[in-house]
Amino acid sequence: MANHLETLISQYYDWQGWIVKKNVRVGRRRELGGYDGELDVVVYNPATGKVIHYEPSTDASSWEKRAEKYEHKFQMGRRYISKEVLPWLAPDFELEQIAVFFHVPAHRRAFQGAKAISIDELVGMIRDKIKKEGRVGKNAIPEQYDLLRTIQLLICGYMKPC
């Protein structure tokens, strides 16, 4: 089941016209059963060919425990995205991998071969894009993006200008 951060990321990129894959099990183990793991959110921009693999978390684990877990998750992304998730990709596709945590100290920005950002940074990026849409009464974000529309209502209101 997706958490709220996965849903927010998925809605944001779908709204932007990207192809979104969420909670994708990869690396099926035919003889043992099950899968090697799950990729939280993978988004693909058909206009540019760029792929972003997000692994958001609200856990309170130590950085050492996170390092082990995320090394595996990002390796799975590099191994399986072009084989199982988006099989039409060229072998040299552009992949960005991002871990999202409560707080990311400066020395953890590069994390397990990926980039780490804070939840506040993620939400700030989304907020800034939504703010450009203006008030809900004039330019509402489509209703299937309920989290994005709620943010739009909170920051821009229904009738007042942002």
Would you list the domain boundaries of the chain?
A: 4-131
pLDDT grade for 159, boundaries at 50, 70 and 90: confident
Q: What is the pLDDT of residues 122-132, one digit of tens each?
A: 999 999 999 99
Structure tokens at 29: 């183990």
pLDDT grade for 158, boundaries at 50, 70 and 90: confident
Angle (nearest 5°) at CA 150 between 146 and 155: 150
Identify the pLDDT of residue 30. Answer: 86
pLDDT grade for 1, boundaries at 50, 70 and 90: very low
* CATH code of the domain occupying 4-131: 3.40.91.50
Q: What's the mean pLDDT in 153-157?
A: 92
85 vs 154: CA distance, rounded Å: 35
